Amino acid sequence: MNKSYVIGVDYGSDSVRSVLVDANSGEEVSSSVFYYPRWKKGAFCDASASQFRQHPLDYIEGLESTITECIAKAGGASIAKDVKAISVDTTGSTPVAVNEAGVPLALLDEFADNPNAMFVLWKDHTAVGEAQEINDHAKQFDIDYLQYVGGIYSSEWFWAKLLHVLRADESVRSALYTWVEHCDYIPFLLTGGTRAAAIKRSVCAAGHKSLWAAAFEGGLPPNNFFSSLDPLLDGITERLFTETYTSAESAGNLSEEWATRLGLSSDVVIGVGAFDCHMGAVGGQIEPYYLSKVMGTSTCDMLVAPKEEVADTLVKGICGQVDGSIIPGMIGMEAGQSAFGDAYAWFKQILMWPVANLLAEAQGIAEDDVEKITALIDSQLIPALSKKAEALPVTLSSELAIDWFNGRRTPDADQTLKGAIQGLHLGTDAPRIFRAIVEATCFGAKSIVDRFIDQGIPVKGLIGLGGVAKKAPYIMQTMADVMNMPIRIHKTEQTCAIGAAMFAATAAGIYARVEDAMDAMGQGFEKTYEPRPDMVNIYAARYKRYKEVGEFIETHKA
Instruction: Look at residues 276, 301, 278, 277 and name the one whose alpha carbon lies nearest to residue 289.
Output: 301
pLDDT at res. 486: 97
How far is Cα 451 from Cα 384, in angstroms, rounded to an integer?
34
Q: Quickly name the fold that domain 5-284+494-523 has.
A: Nucleotidyltransferase; domain 5 (3.30.420)
* C-alpha–C-alpha distance, residues 187 and 507, integer Å: 12
Task: Please enumerate in sequence order all residues whose Cβ is within 8 A of that of 308, keeping only pairs 6 or more positions apart, or say none.
Answer: none
pLDDT of residue 297: 85
Amino acid (one-letter) located at 109:
D
Q: What is the pLDDT of residue 212?
A: 98
Q: What is the pLDDT of residues 159-171, one digit of tens each?
A: 999 999 999 999 9
Residue pLDDT, tens place only, 407-466: 999 999 898 899 999 999 999 999 999 999 999 999 999 999 999 999 999 999 999 998
CA distances from 284 to 86, 265, 488, 498 (A): 19, 29, 10, 8
Rounded to whole angstroms, what are the CA distances from 551 to 282, 402, 548?
35, 10, 5
What are the two backbone dihedrals, phi and then psi, of residue 146, each rounded to the nearest 5 degrees? -105, 5
Helical residues (DSSP H) of 91-234, grouped into ranges: 128-138, 158-168, 170-175, 182-190, 203-209, 223-227
Which one-letter DSSP state was computed for residue 437?
H
State residue 184's pLDDT score: 98
- The confidence band for 346, taking pLDDT boundaries of 50, 70 and 90, is very high
Is 487 strand, coil or helix?
strand
Does 363 have pLDDT greater than 90?
no
Strand partners, 323: 331
pLDDT at 415: 86
Specify the pLDDT at position 362.
Answer: 83
Are 32 and 18 in contact, with CB atoms under 8 Å apart? Answer: yes
Q: With CA atoms as reference, report the closest residue to 489 among 510, 463, 508, 513.
A: 463
Tell me: the pLDDT tens digits for 103-135? 999 999 999 999 999 999 999 999 999 999 999
User: 157 Cβ partners below 8 Å, 6+ apart?
Assistant: 93, 131, 149, 209, 210
Q: What is the mean pLDDT of residues 389-394?
A: 97
Distance between CA 48 and CA 124 in Å, rounded?
11
CB 83 within 8 A of CB 7: yes
Read off the pTM: 0.90
Q: Quickly state the pLDDT bin for 364 (edges 50, 70, 90).
A: confident
Same fold, 5-284+494-523 and 341-491+526-555: yes
Determine the Cα–Cα distance for residues 308 and 427; give it in Å rounded to an integer: 55
Q: Are 322 and 210 in contact (CB under 8 A)?
A: no
CB atoms within 10 A of CB 558: 4
CATH superfamily of this structure's domain 341-491+526-555: ATPase, nucleotide binding domain (3.30.420.40)
Q: Per-domain residue ranges for the chain? A: 5-284+494-523, 341-491+526-555
pLDDT class of 557 with cuts at 50, 70, 90:
confident
Predicted pLDDT of residue 1: 56
Identify the band that residue 19 occupies on the pLDDT scale cut at 50, 70 and 90. Answer: very high
Among 182, 193, 129, smallest CA distance to 160 is for 129
Where residue 182 falls among pLDDT bands split at 50, 70, 90? very high
Among candidates 314, 270, 227, 263, which has minimal Cα distance to 504? 270
Q: Which residue, 262, 206, 282, is CA-closest to 237?
A: 206
Tell me what pLDDT residue 186 has.
98
Q: Is the pLDDT of residue 538 over 70?
A: yes
* Cα–Cα distance, 531 to 113 (Å, whole number): 51
Phi, psi of 240 (to 5 degrees): -105, -110
Contact 162, 180 (CB under 8 A): no
404 pLDDT above the threshold of 80 = yes
Residue-wise pLDDT tens digits, 183-232:
999 999 999 999 999 999 999 999 999 999 999 999 999 999 999 999 99
Res 373 pLDDT > 60: yes
> How much of the chain, in percent, has pLDDT values that exceed 90?
93
